[in-house]
Amino acid sequence: MSFFGFGQSVEVEILLNDAESRKRAEHKTEDGKKEKYFLFYDGETVSGKVSLALKNPNKRLEHQGIKIEFIGQIELYYDRGNHHEFVSLVKDLARPGEISQSQAFDFEFTHVEKPYESYTGQNVKLRYFLRATISRRLNDVVKEMDIVVHTLSTYPELNSSIKMEVGIEDCLHIEFEYNKSKYHLKDVIVGKIYFLLVRIKIKHMEIDIIKRETTGTGPNVYHENDTIAKYEIMDGAPVRGESIPIRLFLAGYELTPTMRDINKKFSVRYYLNLVLIDEEERRYFKQQEVVLWRKGDIVRKSMSHQAAIASQRFEGTASLGETLTSNVLEQKPVEGPLALVPSPVRNSGHRDSLGSVSCVNGSSVEHRRLGRAH
């Protein structure tokens, strides 16, 4: 719009050199919609041109300089006035002067460091974008173009299975195991639930996938829990000695890699939550953190073949009685909807709570913490 004869007299466009061949990736926007953006990885060069088209060919455009920036920034929604930049590169395209005709300026940012994955969450957004600026005395002309960055990981050297015996004394003892503690985003979770002692009338069991987003530091910490999926694994009363298989395909869900303390601003973690519900609607749960990671594109195999491979690996894991060797992870109760997410195994000597539960013992009702059975 033009006021008092002044207005934007030039159209600015940012064009990438490899736009025709570069892959695009879907990414969620703040309003929840999905849009496609050009996909980049860490260390890749970003190059192209800034095209300027004068709306009135007979009128010259005076400016105080033209530049383009490559920016990576984190925006916390509760502090929108402050943008935290972790990447900021600038290239001057033209010195102060005037433009008498439409023209284009080439640019190249070589081997750009892109340390984090693009992310749009409940309370935070991490974005990468190119910004072209024509500096003017009254008002600058600015054009931005967002891109998406994916971080790739190699297959983890240590990927122990998760095995644990938990329960309430004299009421419920179960053993559960998952074939791995770290899963890529298209992986298959394979596991088993064993009922060693059942004196509670269980009617339903499910596994939920929960994403926990943590933003801020110190007293200004915010937690957002989002239930990504609910997966029913049993409907009906189990008996002692029964084994319930688990097979959960991750490819169908909107997941991101696990993000820990990104630029000291936010974290994204995933949990598998095993939930048992008895006939009196009391909930018994055990939450485990799992690590998710993104692997590079390979020739895709059928999902059934992936599941078969996962099953073979799982069947070949050590027996339940063997000592657990992975690191102990901090676990906190998840508020709101429960979810199932794979997590690394704990040391066998560590006491493990399953969550707040109610256990019927004779005529009285006791509130206990489910703990590791000994």
Going from the first residue of the chain to its last (374 residues), give the mean pLDDT of each consecutive group of 10, the final group possibly shorter.
53 94 92 92 96 86 94 90 92 92 94 96 95 91 96 86 84 89 94 89 90 88 92 86 91 94 95 89 88 73 44 41 29 33 34 39 36 44
Residue with tokens 């926990």: 212
Contact (CB, 8 A) for 257 and 185: yes
* pLDDT at site 225: 94
Locate 125 and state its tokens. Answer: 């957004």
Q: What is the pLDDT of residue 15?
A: 96
Radius of gyration of the chain measured on its C-alpha atoms: 27
Q: Quick one: pLDDT at residue 44?
A: 95
How are beta strands 34-40 and 141-149 bridged, if at all? parallel
Q: How far apart are CA 79 and CA 12, in angstroms?
A: 30
Answer yes or no: do 218 and 115 share one domain: no
Whether 157 is in a domain gets the answer no
- Of the three residues 84, 118, 149, the one that is the final residue of a domain is 149
Mean pLDDT of the chain: 79
- Residue 4 within a domain: no
Q: By the 8 A CB rule, do 268 and 282 touch? A: no
Contact 60, 20 (CB under 8 A): no
User: At which of 149, 183, 201 does a domain end?
Assistant: 149
Residue 100 makes CB contacts below 8 A (sequence gap 6+) with 60, 61
Distance CA(105)–CA(322), nearest Å, equals: 65
Short-list 44, 51, 31, 337, CA closest to 210: 337
119 and 190, same domain (yes or no): no
Which tokens go with 120?
């749009």
Domain boundary among 93, 120, 149: 149
Backbone angles phi, psi at 313, to 5 degrees: -65, -40
CA 162 to chain centre: 21
Same-domain status, 145 and 169: no
What is the domain-level CATH number for residue 262? Answer: 2.60.40.640
Within-domain flag for 154:
no
Structure tokens at 139: 């008002």
- On whether both 202 and 223 belong to a single domain, the answer is yes
SS3 content of the chain, % helix, strand, coil (to 5): 5, 50, 45
186: domain range? 162-372
What is the per-residue pLDDT across 261-285, written as a single tens digit (0 to 9) for each? Answer: 999 999 999 999 989 888 888 888 8
Q: In what helix (H) or strand (E) does residue 221 lie, and over which residues does it extend?
A: none
Please state the length of the chain. Answer: 374
pTM for this entry? 0.75
- Residue 291 domain-assigned (yes or no): yes
Identify whether residues 175 and 63 lie together within a single domain: no
Please tell me the total count of domains within the chain.
2
